[in-house]
Each structure stands twice: as structure tokens, then as C-alpha cells.
Chains A and B, each alone.
Chain A
């Protein structure tokens, strides 16, 4: 149980294009999903908290217009990196919290983004 998937697992794109990453909770419903970014040999950096049916809450320093988050259902959240640039290249990881009430987050396998 508590499986979270991400798609795609890796993506290469040209500078200026937009990339959409999907995060799905496969066997539970998640009212809250989180998006993280991780640079090599560094820990997770929270980007935003995604709540089903409402606007996402972004951490300080994260551009809302650059990283668009949509949480349209209890099992799906999407992160769109708009007008991607090489500095956006990173490992993006989502997590989901079971709405059953416990605090534990379950993480997806991550998406490696490379912007050329």
C-alpha cells in the first residue's frame, strides 16, 4: 500500500519549453501533496504544498508563475515548469499524505529534468 507514482521518470527538453510532471497516489486518496526539488548530494527542498481543490501554497523564493501546480483530484497533482531554462534542471520529487489522518508522507520515484 501507499504507492505514489510519477510520470515521466526523466525528461530532456529545450530551453523555453514547458514540461508537465504528474504525481499520482495509486492506492490511497491524498488531500495534500508536496513537491520537492533536490540537487545532487543535497537534501530535499520543499517547493510547494498542493491541496486538492484549492490553490497551492508556495515556499518563499519559489516562483508561482514558473512552477504551476494543479491538484485536480484526490489522486493527482501536476507540476508544470513553464519556459524552462538550464538552471531548472534538477530532480523533482512529489509526495502524498494519506487523508486517513496520519502525518506520514509517501514519496514518488522522482523525475529527472534536463533542460538544454
Chain B
């Protein structure tokens, strides 16, 4: 059974304070690890797909990396508009519980 664990549950950062979110997973045959951003009352917004260990992808202040057991979402110099819940998922159907990120001005 696929499992995804995200940490921390919540993270408060000052604007400009870089940090990382963690997504640990166990899956029988990785068919992609997915990162999404979800704002309150809205559907998740696709960010990245990673398929193999060592792969990295970047988008603005976000960078996602992947190992055989976990993925990190690095946020560099975050801004208040980066505040959201970040979800990771494996195998399309198994989502983590998310990390609620708050960036304070």
C-alpha cells in the first residue's frame, strides 16, 4: 500500500527566510511524485512532477528534488503570496496530509 507522509504539518516563515518541506513516501513502483499548491477553498494547483531519483525541477522560488525515499520542496526567499498548503502525492491517488505554509511580511 502506497504511503505518503509530509512534514512539518505547519510552517511559519518570515519573508525571505528560506526553508524546505519534506515528503516521505513508500510505493511499489514509483510512477511519479507530484507536488501541488492549494489555496483555501480552491482546488490544488499543479507544480511539479518528478519521476526518478536525482531529478530536480524549479519554478520561480520553488525547487523540488527527489530521492528514492523522499522529496523536498525548497522555498528560497519566500514571499507572503507563497502562503498556501503544499501537497505531495504518489501514484496519482495517494496524497499526503500537506504542509500549511505561512509567510509573514
A residues lining the B interface (CB < 8 Å): 2, 4, 6, 34, 42-44, 46, 49, 91, 93, 95, 97, 102-110, 112
With the chains together, A28 CA to B96 CA distance in Å?
A: 27
Q: A103-B92, A107-B36 are in contact. Are A43 and B98 (CB under 8 A)?
A: yes
With the chains together, A107 CA to B31 CA distance in Å?
A: 18
With the chains together, A112 CA to B42 CA distance in Å?
A: 10
With the chains together, A104 CA to B32 CA distance in Å?
A: 8
Inter-subunit contact A112/B43 (CB<8 Å): no
- Majority SS at the chain B contact face: loop
Interface size class of chain B, counting residues whose CB lies under 8 Å from the partner chain: 10 to 19
With the chains together, A49 CA to B92 CA distance in Å?
A: 11
Inter-subunit contact A112/B92 (CB<8 Å): no
With the chains together, A2 CA to B95 CA distance in Å?
A: 20
Q: A43-B95, A43-B98, A46-B93 are in contact. Are A93 and B31 (CB under 8 A)?
A: no
